[in-house]
Every structure is written in C-alpha cells, then in structure tokens.
Structure 1
Amino acid sequence: MAQTRNLCAQLPLDLHAKVCEAREQSGLTTAQYITSLLTEYYAMKENGGKEVMMNGKTRTLAFQIDEDLFNRIKAHLERETQRTGRKYTQREFVLGLIEEALNEAERQAAEEAGQTAAPETSVSPCEPCEPCEPEEEALPPEKP
C-alpha cells in the first residue's frame, strides 16, 4: 500500500456542504473522494485544461438551438463567471444539466421499480481531520 499523509484545509461552509453531498452520492470515503478529485484535477491540468474521462473515451454531442436561447445561456455563463470569479463554460453548464437530469430520471426509475436507496446512516458525512503537523517517525525508547 502506498504511503499516505494527512491533508487538512479550512473550507467555506457552502463549499464544505457541496463536497460532503457529492461525496455521499459517490459512495466513497472522504479520503477516497478527495484523492479522486485531486487526481482528476492534476490529470486535467496536464491535459491542457481539458477534462479527462475516466475510461478515456469521449463522444461529441452537438445540436442547434434558437438564437434567443443561446443568448440567454451566454448571459447566464457571464453572470456565473462574475459571481464565482472563474470562467464558467458552456460545456460545464450543459454537462451539469444533463447529469442532473439523468440522475433524477435514474432515481425515479429506481423508485418505480421498487428499489429504494439504502437508508441513511447516522455516521457523519465527513471524517474527522487530524492536525496537519509533520509526522514523526516512532523512535525506540531511550535507555537509562
């Protein structure tokens, strides 16, 4: 098993809530989820800013829309860019909508099929974070 080291960070409450919710949906532990996010981020960075799909396969989805709708989307992207302080892309926007709609449709289909989600546990969604201090190697006790 690879050696590991603890990484702690203070987050704004709204970001913490988003991370915890996404982690719960993924079914991963906090450590697994954050590792996955960071790995994906650095892979994307190495790929010139383009997202790398986990299976390495991508497909193009293209369609035409009415100019009024296009302008509304552009205005929304500009507002979100201003609000968040980072560029919000058409791709991000459309993929987010598609994933949200598919997740909801799949949830409804599962409910209709009589398959309900596992009951929530009383376990905290986030694992406790230990102080971020350099780890010291265990030394044998000194002899008198």
Structure 2
Amino acid sequence: MEETKSLCAKIPIELHNKVRANQEKSGLTLNQYVEKLIIEYYQMKEMKNMAQTRTLALQISEEIFARIKKHLDKNPNLTQKAFITELIIKALDEAELQENNNQ
C-alpha cells in the first residue's frame, strides 16, 4: 500500500458542507474523495499549461461504459479522463512502434 500523510486545512463552513454533500453522493470515503479532487485539480492545471487541447467525444455501448465505470470504481484515484488518455497513448505508442518496425 502506498504511504500516506495527513493534510489538514480550515475552510469556510459553506464550502465544507458542499464538499461533504458531494463526497457522500460519490460513495467514496472522505480521504478518497479529497485525494481525487486534488489529483483532478493538478491534472486540470497540467492540461491548461499545455499549448492547446482538443475535445474528443464519442459514443460507446452501454456494456463498455459499464465496464469502464466498474474499473474506475475499483480505482478511485483514477479519473475517467486519465484512464481513457492512458489507453489512447498506449495504443498510439504500440501502433507507432509497429509502424517503425515495418519500415
């Protein structure tokens, strides 16, 4: 298990109530929820620092969507965006490697 360390901060009551309400809806523990928020924040910040980003939208079957959701539920620190991006990068890397080997 990855080593962890506590992080404490005082925040306004209204924000605290909002965070707790959303955390409860998510089904995650407070630790998991706050960690996910922080990870998503830094991923979003990284994306803003990139020269340009584009949106990729597609429709998938309900079965594939359910499989993705099940996987993400088992890995609460992994966002849907990060998971799909990793899959695309891996597939592209493999395709490029195969293309280079065929030349």
Identity of matched residues, %: 41
Larger Rg: 1
Equivalent residue pairs, number? 64
Equivalent-residue separation in structure 2 for 1:106 and 1:94 (angstroms): 18
Once the two structures are superposed, residues 74-125 of structure 1 have per-residue CA deviations (whole angstroms, 9 ceiling, x without a partner) of 00001122xxxxx211101100000000000000111111xxxxxxxxxxxx
Cα RMSD, aligned residues only = 2.3
Q: TM-score, normalised by structure 1?
A: 0.40
Query: Which of the pair is proportionally richer in helix?
Result: 2
Equivalent-residue separation in structure 2 for 1:53 and 1:97 (angstroms): 21
SS, match of residue 78 in structure 2: coil
Gaps of 5+ in 2: 4-37
Residue of structure 2 equivalent to 1:6:
none
Give the 5 Å matches for 1:26-105.
48-49=41-42, 50=44, 51-52=46-47, 55-81=50-76, 87-105=77-95
Larger relative contact order (CA 8 Å, sep ≥ 6): 1
Q: TM-score, normalised by structure 2?
A: 0.54
Gaps of 5+ in 1: 1-10, 13-44, 82-86, 114-144
Instruction: Give structure 1 regions of 4+ aligned residues with deviation exceeding 2 angstroms.
Output: 51-55
